[in-house]
């Protein structure tokens, strides 16, 4: 029977099957850095507050620093029977420093300890994810600047609708990823309070300096209710929810990359380094990276659902169910970071086929609204104009022509209002650049939106 840190009231060892079942060291060892950081701050505070001697405190701190170095050097082996990272580290500490190590857990529980560790860990991960989003935004802005005049068809219902530019299309994603960034910052801000001092659920009788520990660990303050502090995983759920939205945006973009790189569209070509071939068909160049990101979106949604479901109906305060938070959270973090890491260079290196895009913008009567607007500007109501142009489209379909290919006589047969200038008014470039309304696709409007986004990014 292995000695348990909590073994005092037990007459018998844990069944081996149970030990493997409830041990979390396999996955929570990734919190070692945060756990040690928290323990060091706690030990120093215990010394300052005269709860343990200053000598004991510094012996503990020194030993924890050594353990950290050894873990990073890869020479520490964790022990499944010591359950989790918290008890593994405490066990190592006591083995190395002796009886003094047993004082570290004064005024602390694994319940406030794990709540602290996840917050510290997630704080760093949010910073890294945010950095990846910033890289992506930078790339999108660069590609938008290069493509301010790259005309392409805009779609609704995946049917050609009106001409836009690639810059305008890319800037739509800039808006989405900027919202994602602000959601992550928001999540980090709300989470950044120290739960240490909440104990198992009801605080502690020792005169802990909670504020001092919070300050040392760069928190903005302390949590206000000990029950809430140990049973709250809102922050993990908020992260997974933000991560789900990032993935949702990536998946929409990937879907378009997949369509655009098909022979039918041929709007873009992916760089060879971001595409793959087929083991059988020699001609193939597949957008696997984009497909994989689209597929991984499901995993992240899965993590969000798992966390929401684990937390559902749990009575206060800590329950062991909550140990199930980590694998889902870690998987969501790894997945979203992995996807962003490969998506950004894929976008940065893809070739845009400008001619092909412009050709695409011409078919499908994408300038029909502009014919109607022309009539409105000459005095018709929009509904009357809509009716006339609808009939003209029907005529074109019968003749197998586009709106620009109809003759002036054809136009005038439909309405005497048309004059020669109609042909200028429905040129796709003109159609885009007449849409100068803020938020629209005209070069100036998009340029101003790019500038604003660049300024926000630099802030
Ligand atoms: N490994 C546990 C977790 O991740 C740590 C807290 C355990 N606390 C307890 N009283 N069993 O949730």
Residues 258 and 341 in one domain: yes
Residues 245 and 330 in one domain: yes
- The residue segments making up the domain with residue 131 are 111-208+225-359
Residues 118 and 261 in one domain: yes
Taking only the tens place, the pLDDT of each residue in 148-171 is 999 999 999 999 999 999 999 999
What mean pLDDT is predicted for residues 218-230? 98
Among 106, 124, 153, the domain boundary falls at 106
Taking only the tens place, the pLDDT of each residue in 341-383 is 999 999 999 999 999 999 999 878 999 999 999 999 999 999 9
Contact 241 CB / ligand 1 (< 6 Å): no
Instruction: Kindly report the average pLDDT of the chain as a whole number.
Output: 95
Cα 1 to middle of ligand 1, angstroms: 21
Residues 36 and 96 in one domain: yes
Residues 28 and 86 in one domain: yes
String of DSSP letters for 267-291:
-EE--GGG-B--SS-TT--B-HHHH
Residues 307 and 412 in one domain: no
Output the CA angle 333-335-338, nearest 5 degrees: 105
Among 315, 337, 359, the domain boundary falls at 359
Contact 350 CB / ligand 1 (< 6 Å): no
How many residues comprise the chain?
459
Cα 227 to middle of ligand 1, angstroms: 15
What mean pLDDT is predicted for residues 103-130? 98
284: in domain: yes
Taking only the tens place, the pLDDT of each residue in 34-82 is 999 999 999 999 999 999 999 999 999 999 999 999 999 999 999 999 9
String of DSSP letters for 156-203:
ETTEEEEEEEHHHHHHHHHHHHHHHHHHHHHHHHHH-EE-TT-TTTT-
- Strand, helix or coil at 154? strand
pLDDT of residue 1: 44
Residue of 30, 31, 113, 114 with the most ligand 1 atoms within 8 Å of its CB, for mutation: 114
Contact 31 CB / ligand 1 (< 6 Å): no
pLDDT of residue 7: 83
What mean pLDDT is predicted for residues 175-194? 98
Interface confidence, given as ipTM, is 0.97
40: in domain: yes
330: in domain: yes
Tell me the HSE value of 87 on the side-chain side, using a 13 A CA sphere.
17
Look up 157 and say whether it is catalytic.
yes
Contact 320 CB / ligand 1 (< 6 Å): yes
Q: How far apart are CA 262 and CA 214, in angstroms?
A: 54
124: in domain: yes
Taking only the tens place, the pLDDT of each residue in 413-448 is 999 999 999 999 999 999 999 999 999 999 999 999
Contact 380, 417 (CB under 8 A): yes
What mean pLDDT is predicted for residues 91-96? 97
134: in domain: yes
Residues 326 and 420 in one domain: no
**How many distinct structural domains can be found in the chain?**
3
Cα 154 to middle of ligand 1, angstroms: 52
Residue of 53, 262, 278, 381 marked catalytic: 278
String of DSSP letters for 43-67:
HHHHHHTTSS-HHHHHHHHHHHHHH
- Identify the DSSP state of 73: T
CA dihedral 257, 261, 265, 268 (to 10 degrees): 90
What mean pLDDT is predicted for residues 191-199? 98
String of DSSP letters for 375-418:
HHHTT--HHHHHHHHHHHHHHHHHHT--GGGS-HHHHHHH-TT-
Q: How far apart are CA 53 and CA 122, in angstroms?
A: 32
Residues 98 and 128 in one domain: no
Residues 159 and 241 in one domain: yes
Q: For the chain, give the percent of residues with pLDDT over 70.
A: 100
| Residue partners of 415: CB distance under 8 A and separation at least 6 | 375, 380, 388
Taking only the tens place, the pLDDT of each residue in 274-289 is 998 888 888 888 999 9
46: in domain: yes
Q: Which ligand 1 atom is nearest residue 84's CA?
A: 1
Tell me the HSE value of 46 on the side-chain side, using a 13 A CA sphere.
30
Residues 126 and 164 in one domain: yes
Q: Supply 399's token pair.
A: 């003749």
* pTM confidence score: 0.94
Q: How far apart are CA 230 and CA 28, in angstroms?
A: 17
Contact 12 CB / ligand 1 (< 6 Å): no
Taking only the tens place, the pLDDT of each residue in 290-340 is 999 999 999 999 999 999 999 999 999 999 999 999 999 999 999 999 999
Report the CATH number at residue 395. Answer: 1.10.40.30
| Residue partners of 128: CB distance under 8 A and separation at least 6 | 337
Report the CATH number at residue 336. Answer: 1.20.200.10
Of the pLDDT bands very low, low, confident and very high (cuts 50, 70, 90), residue 2 is: low
Q: How far apart are CA 3 and CA 19, in angstroms?
A: 13
Contact 368, 393 (CB under 8 A): yes
Cα 74 to middle of ligand 1, angstroms: 25
Report the CATH number at residue 55. Answer: 1.10.275.10
Q: How far apart are CA 442 and CA 426, in angstroms?
A: 15
pLDDT of residue 279: 82
Residue of 21, 84, 116 with the most ligand 1 atoms within 8 Å of its CB, for mutation: 84
For 211-222, b/e burial (b = at least 16 CB within 10 A) is ebbbebbebeeb
Cα 83 to middle of ligand 1, angstroms: 9
Contact 123 CB / ligand 1 (< 6 Å): no
3-state class percentages of the chain: helix first, strand second, coil last, to nearest 5: 65, 5, 30
Q: Supply 98's token pair.
A: 């002796």
Contact 110 CB / ligand 1 (< 6 Å): yes
- Among 170, 187, 177, which Cα is nearest to 250's? 177
Residues 36 and 99 in one domain: yes
Residues 154 and 252 in one domain: yes
- Identify the DSSP state of 153: E
165: in domain: yes
pLDDT of residue 452: 97
String of DSSP letters for 197-230:
T-TTTT--SS---HHHHHHHTT-SEE-S-HHHHH
Cα 324 to middle of ligand 1, angstroms: 10
319: in domain: yes
Among 106, 135, 158, the domain boundary falls at 106
């Amino acid at each position: 029977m292995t000695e348990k840190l909590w073994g005092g009231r037990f007459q018998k060892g844990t069944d081996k099957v149970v030990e493997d079942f409830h041990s979390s060291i396999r996955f929570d060892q990734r919190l070692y850095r945060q756990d040690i950081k928290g323990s060091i701050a706690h030990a120093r505070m215990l010394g300052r507050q005269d709860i343990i001697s200053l000598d004991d405190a510094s012996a503990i701190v020194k030993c924890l620093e050594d353990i950290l170095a050894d873990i990073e050097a890869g020479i520490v082996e964790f022990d499944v029977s010591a359950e989790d990272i918290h008890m593994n580290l405490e066990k190592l500490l006591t083995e190395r420093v002796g009886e003094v190590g047993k004082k570290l857990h004064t005024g602390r529980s694994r319940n406030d300890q794990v709540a602290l560790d996840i917050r510290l860990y997630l704080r760093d991960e949010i910073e890294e994810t945010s950095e990846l989003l910033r890289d992506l935004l930078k790339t999108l802005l660069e590609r938008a600047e290069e493509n301010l005049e790259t005309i392409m068809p805009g779609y609704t219902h995946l049917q050609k609708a009106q001409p836009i530019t690639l810059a305008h299309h890319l800037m739509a994603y800039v808006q989405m990823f900027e919202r994602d960034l602000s959601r992550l910052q928001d999540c980090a801000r709300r989470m950044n309070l120290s739960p240490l001092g909440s104990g198992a659920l009801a605080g502690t009788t020792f005169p802990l300096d909670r504020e001092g520990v919070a300050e040392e660990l760069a928190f903005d303050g302390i949590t206000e209710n000990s029950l809430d502090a140990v049973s709250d995983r809102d922050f993990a759920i908020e992260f997974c929810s933000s991560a789900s939205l990032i993935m949702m945006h990536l998946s929409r973009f990937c879907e378009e990359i997949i369509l655009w790189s098909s022979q039918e569209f041929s709007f873009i070509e992916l760089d060879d380094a971001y595409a793959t071939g087929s083991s059988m068909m020699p001609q193939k160049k597949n957008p696997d990276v984009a497909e994989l990101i689209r597929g991984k979106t499901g995993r992240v949604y899965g993590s969000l659902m798992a966390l929401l479901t684990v937390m559902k109906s749990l009575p206060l305060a800590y329950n062991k169910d909550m140990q199930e938070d980590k694998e889902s959270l870690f998987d969501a973090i790894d997945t979203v970071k992995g996807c962003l890491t490969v998506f950004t260079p894929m976008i940065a290196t893809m070739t845009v086929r400008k001619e092909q895009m412009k050709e695409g913008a011409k078919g499908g009567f994408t300038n029909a609204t502009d014919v109607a607007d022309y009539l409105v500007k000459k005095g018709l109501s929009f509904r009357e104009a809509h009716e006339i142009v609808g009939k003209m489209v029907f005529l074109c379909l019968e003749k197998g022509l586009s709106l620009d290919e109809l003759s002036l006589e054809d136009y005038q047969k439909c309405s005497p209002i048309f004059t020669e200038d109609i042909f200028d008014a429905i040129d796709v470039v003109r159609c885009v650049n007449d849409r100068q309304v803020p938020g629209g696709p005209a070069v100036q409007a998009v340029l101003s939106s790019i500038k604003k986004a660049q300024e926000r990014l630099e802030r």
